[in-house]
Amino acid sequence: MKSPSSTFASVIAACALTGNVAAQVQQPDAPPELAPAAEAQQRIAEAKANLKLKPEQQSQVRGLLEDGANRMRAIQAKYVGDDSDAARGAKLRELRAVQHDFRGQLSTILTPEQMLHWDLMRDEVRQYAREHLKEKAALEEF
């Protein structure tokens, strides 16, 4: 798990592919997002260390992460400038579908034990994102 001093962009990248739709919204003062290949490289390094991925799993997960990041970005771009309730709802549904698809594909690559570890990593990222967003909201109230 990354320390709280990790960049917010890495949290966004991780959340984008692990199920935290609420934390995906790019904040105005957040650092720019990483390119899909860089996001995938960062996540594969974390997964390799924490999940003990075999070489063939590394390449499969890398491709899955790159594809997921590209799909998420395309959805985000599709709704840029449309803040209507209908657009937000449609965007969330599309993002969740990508996340569901990602998880299904990931479960065919990882062992059941590795999936448990992946879920723990995902939960840690979600928790960090929630805390970060709460802190940010509290600061904005002042």
In a domain, 3, yes or no: no
- Average pLDDT over every residue of 57-69: 91
- What is the pTM for the complete model shown? 0.65
In a domain, 127, yes or no: yes
In a domain, 86, yes or no: yes
Number of structural domains the chain divides into = 1
88-109 per-position pLDDT tens digit = 999 999 999 999 999 999 999 9
> Does residue 96 sit in helix, strand or coil?
helix
In a domain, 2, yes or no: no
Residue 2, CA distances (Å) to 5, 66, 92, 131 in order: 8, 20, 26, 14
28-58 per-position pLDDT tens digit = 333 445 555 666 667 667 777 888 889 999 8
In a domain, 1, yes or no: no
Residues ≥6 apart with Cβ < 8 Å to 17: 43, 65, 68, 69, 72, 99, 102
